[in-house]
């Protein structure tokens, strides 16, 4: 008799009390699909951050590419990309974000929150460097209306290399500092981009028609307040619309470089 198994036992999410070195390695090796860390930030810290953000000037991702709209605080590399390179206005936006954040009166910057989440597991963690300069780390995003189904892969997106070090694996990390009572789930599919998928690209967008994930095993995460979530963003993923309330996260990309360090960027 033949076994027909339609689910991959390695495509699973694990829950941890903190990010561990073994889990990060497992994610990169493909033994895991995602790591969930409930309560990575306390509710009190999440509330303090979202309360302070009420006075912060949020902007939006480039609306010609990112629709539905996504509000954000701080630069996103993909808003400053031209022909596989990072444009210079990224650095101005990074400086402006740091300056603006420093007026909010919060103890920790998005950069420090992201670095701190990895430091115990991986002491060799630091902002990534590009042409000797430290990348911005920690983007605040309010994704209330959801995302297009997409993947993130700096190796494909930055032909001229994003960082000075060679990134051998890329992960995506988010901490949810405000969660909606309904909707706002993150969905992760066990499928990576293939050339033929370009036919399903949303015209002008950054993502793909959801049919690109048809018949593919998936994981759905309903974020909880203060939870950290780490996954391989080469797997197609999306965020469902929040049908009520606001969904705010602080996140970054995490690269394992060829010297065994973790390099963060946003």
The residues that touch Fe ion, with contacts defined as CB under 5 A, are 152, 233
Task: Report the SS3 class of residue 154.
Answer: helix
CB 157 within 8 A of CB 81: yes
Binding segment for ligand AKG among 119-127, 163-171, 204-212, 232-240 (CB under 6 A)? Answer: 232-240
- Alpha helices of the chain — where are they, by DSSP H? 21-29, 43-53, 89-102, 110-119, 154-157
User: Would you say 174 or 257 has its CB closer to ligand AKG?
Assistant: 174
Residue 106 or 239: the one with the smaller Cβ distance to ligand AKG is: 239
Compose the 234-263 pattern: x for residues touching ligand AKG by CB under 6 A, - for all others. Answer: ---x-x---------x-x------------
Output 127 or 180, the one with its CB closest to ligand AKG: 180
Nearer to ligand AKG, 72 or 237 (CB): 237
Which residue in the set 172, 230, 263, 264 belongs to the binding site for ligand AKG (CB under 6 A)?
172
Cβ 240 vs Cβ 187: under 8 Å: yes
* Burial tier of 35 (Cβ tally within 10 Å: 0-12, 13-18, 19+): buried
Which residue from 143, 169, 212, 263 is in contact with ligand AKG, where contact means CB under 6 A?
143
Q: Which residue is nearest to ligand AKG (CB)?
A: 186
Give, as one character, the DSSP assignment of residue 144. Answer: T
Nearest residue to 34 (alpha-carbon basis) of 61, 55, 16: 16
Read off φ and ψ for residue 17, nearest 5 degrees: -80, -25
**Which residues are at the interface with ligand AKG (CB under 6 A)?**
143, 147, 152, 172, 174, 186, 233, 237, 239, 249, 251
């Amino acid at each position: 008799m033949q076994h027909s198994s339609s689910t991959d036992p390695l495509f699973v999410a694990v829950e941890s009390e903190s990010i561990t070195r073994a889990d990060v390695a497992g994610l990169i090796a493909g033994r895991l699909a995602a790591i969930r860390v409930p309560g990575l930030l306390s509710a009190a810290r999440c509330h303090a951050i979202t309360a302070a953000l009420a006075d912060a000037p949020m902007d939006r991702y480039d609306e010609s590419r990112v629709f539905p709209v996504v509000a954000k605080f701080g630069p996103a590399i993909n808003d400053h990309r031209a022909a596989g390179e990072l444009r210079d206005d990224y650095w101005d936006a990074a400086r402006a974000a740091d300056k603006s954040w420093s007026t909010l009166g919060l103890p920790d910057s998005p950069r420090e929150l992201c670095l701190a989440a990895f430091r115990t597991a991986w002491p060799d963690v630091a902002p990534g460097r590009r042409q000797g300069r430290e990348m911005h780390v920690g983007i605040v995003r309010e994704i209330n209306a959801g995302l297009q189904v997409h993947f993130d892969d700096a190796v494909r997106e930055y032909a001229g290399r994003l960082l000075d070090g060679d990134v051998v694996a890329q992960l995506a990390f988010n901490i949810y500092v405000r969660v909606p009572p309904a909707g706002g789930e993150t969905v992760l599919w066990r499928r990576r981009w293939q050339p033929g998928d370009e036919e399903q690209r949303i015209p002008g967008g950054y993502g793909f028609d959801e049919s690109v994930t048809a018949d593919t095993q998936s994981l759905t995460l309903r974020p909880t307040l203060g939870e950290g979530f780490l996954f391989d963003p080469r797997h197609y993923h999306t965020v469902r619309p929040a049908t009520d309330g606001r969904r705010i996260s602080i996140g970054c990309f995490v690269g394992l470089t060829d010297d065994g360090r973790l390099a963060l960027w946003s």
